[in-house]
Amino acid sequence: MISQIFAVVAGLFHVWAFLLESLLFRRPAVQRLFLGRTVSSDVYLWAFNQGFYNLFLAAGAIGGVIAAHTGHAGAGRPVTLFACAAMMGAGIVLVVSDRKLWRGALGQAVPPLVALLAATA
């Protein structure tokens, strides 16, 4: 149960990232939240695309939990765990690429890490 709760938390974090990156990134406050400054329009397409990556990861984590609860645990569990592993890996890459982004990396990596650890316990 702990694994599923943290998988959903991780999924919701990534839905939030999707909203910020794909729908709200043109707002200067959102750009400053992600990058510490405003940026040129060249970055919008990148942010839009990145947001959809986050949405698809969220769909895997949350959809896998839903599948597991609707009688498809054999499919739902591996999908959830794969999505969580990908989220955790992306969080690690984020902090390794720029240590100033450690807060975002924690939000991206810790909930799926807890889900993965709880699933193996």
The pTM of this model reads 0.89
Q: Using an 8 Å Cβ cutoff, are 101 and 77 in contact?
A: no
Give pLDDT tens digits for 59-105. 999 999 999 999 999 999 999 999 999 999 999 999 999 998 899 89
DSSP state of 70: T
Distance CA 112, CA 20 (A): 20
pLDDT of residue 33: 86
Q: What is the pLDDT of residue 10?
A: 98
Calpha distance 69→85 (Å, rounded): 20
Domain spans, the chain: 2-120
What integer pLDDT is reported at residue 36 of this predicted model? 80
What value does the mean pLDDT of the chain take?
94
User: What burial class does residue 7 get, using C-beta atoms within 10 Å of its C-beta: 0-12 exposed, 13-18 middle, 19+ buried?
Assistant: buried
Q: Are 47 and 41 in contact (CB under 8 A)?
A: no
Q: What pLDDT does 37 receive?
A: 83
